[in-house]
């Protein structure tokens, strides 16, 4: 009788262990399933951090071991809508695809200015809010009421400063009705208009949809590079804040990262061509290289991956 009871207890205990394992496994799986809200293709090269966690799919619990500092191809990013809104990169190593948090990769930059910033640890200034109440507040013309991207301007003025540019915009707003959300130089990111509302700096086909910022001109290699770093960080911040991908603007109106020149050429309603000349001239004079929107989008992605 005692042996039978002991056997029954062992059976009950085994059943409890099995049920606990099933429940525990379900809990573990549910807390590691990643709900994808958006994805976009890229063509990048990166190295893995030494602590990178590699997965064989976005929904699998199984981890895969790859060599430390392995050189991989990045072919797609996935934005998730979990608690942390993590971004995952789909990577290819030796012909096989894996997944890793974007924070665990370091992009290999082709452009000299982007490489300079990467080697410096992707520095950036903090965003300083100096919101002015004089600007009209009108909501974005999107179904969500949120912006769908960022437009980049340069001021076009030689030897002006960020403070003088802000002062000029403030003093002349009543007559021009023109303003942007933010000014960015090599040391500061000054947000003067609430990004919850549209700005008036890029024409009727862009204003209702994009956050906009201006770049005063810089004249040394370090200051120009740091300004680009601040601009890329700010762009990444706005996109991340709105759970938007890092994609270049397109002729059909898609994409999230735009120059004012692209607005003029693709959407119309304005004829400005900034910041093309400023970027290319400064990059040639200060670094002996080129710089364009493709280089900037790559830099934005590098900052985005850190968030």
What is the per-residue pLDDT across 155-167, written as a single tens digit (0 to 9) for each? 999 999 999 999 9
Q: Where are the domains of the chain?
A: 36-107, 112-305
DSSP annotation string for 221-247 = HHHHHHHHHHHHHHHHHHHHHTT----
Helix (H) or strand (E) holding 293: helix 293-305
Q: Can you list the residues of the chain whose pLDDT is less than 50?
A: 3-7, 10-11, 13-31
Name residue, tokens 């607005």: 263
Report pLDDT for 33.
55
pTM of the model: 0.89
CATH code reported for the domain at 36-107: 2.30.30
Report pLDDT for 83.
63
Report pLDDT for 35.
81
Report pLDDT for 34.
64
* Domain 112-305 CATH assignment equals 3.30.750.24: no
Report pLDDT for 18.
40
3-state helix, strand and coil shares in percent for the chain, rounded to the nearest 5: 35, 20, 40
- CA-to-CA distance for 89 and 194, rounded, in angstroms? 32
């Amino acid at each position: 009788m005692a042996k039978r009871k002991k056997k029954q207890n062992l059976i009950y205990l085994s059943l409890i262990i099995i049920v606990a394992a099933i429940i525990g496994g379900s809990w573990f799986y549910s807390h590691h399933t990643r709900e994808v809200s958006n994805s976009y293709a890229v063509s990048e090269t990166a190295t893995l951090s030494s602590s990178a966690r590699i997965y064989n799919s976005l929904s699998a619990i199984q981890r895969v071991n790859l060599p430390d500092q392995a050189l991989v191809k990045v072919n797609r990013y996935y934005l998730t809508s979990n608690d942390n809104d993590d971004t995952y990169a789909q990577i290819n190593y030796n012909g096989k695809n894996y997944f890793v948090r974007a924070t665990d990769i370091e992009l290999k930059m082709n452009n000299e200015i982007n490489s300079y910033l990467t080697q410096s640890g992707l520095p950036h200034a903090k965003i300083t809010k100096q919101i002015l109440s004089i600007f009209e507040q009108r909501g974005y013309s999107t179904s969500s009421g949120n912006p769908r991207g960022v437009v980049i301007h340069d001021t076009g003025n030689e030897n002006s400063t960020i403070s003088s540019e802000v002062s000029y915009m403030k003093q002349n707003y009543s007559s021009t009705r023109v303003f942007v959300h933010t000014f960015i130089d090599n040391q500061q990111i000054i947000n003067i208009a609430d990004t919850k509302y549209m700005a008036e700096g890029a024409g009727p086909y862009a204003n209702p949809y994009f956050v906009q910022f201006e770049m005063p001109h810089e004249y040394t290699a370090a200051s120009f590079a740091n300004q680009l770093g601040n601009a890329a960080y700010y762009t990444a911040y706005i996109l991340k804040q709105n759970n938007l991908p890092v994609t270049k603007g397109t002729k059909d109106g898609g994409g999230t990262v735009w120059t004012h020149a692209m607005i003029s050429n693709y959407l119309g309603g304005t004829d400005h061509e900034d910041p093309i000349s400023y970027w290319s001239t400064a990059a040639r004079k200060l670094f002996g290289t080129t710089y364009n929107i493709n280089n900037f989008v790559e830099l934005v992605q590098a900052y985005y991956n850190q968030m």
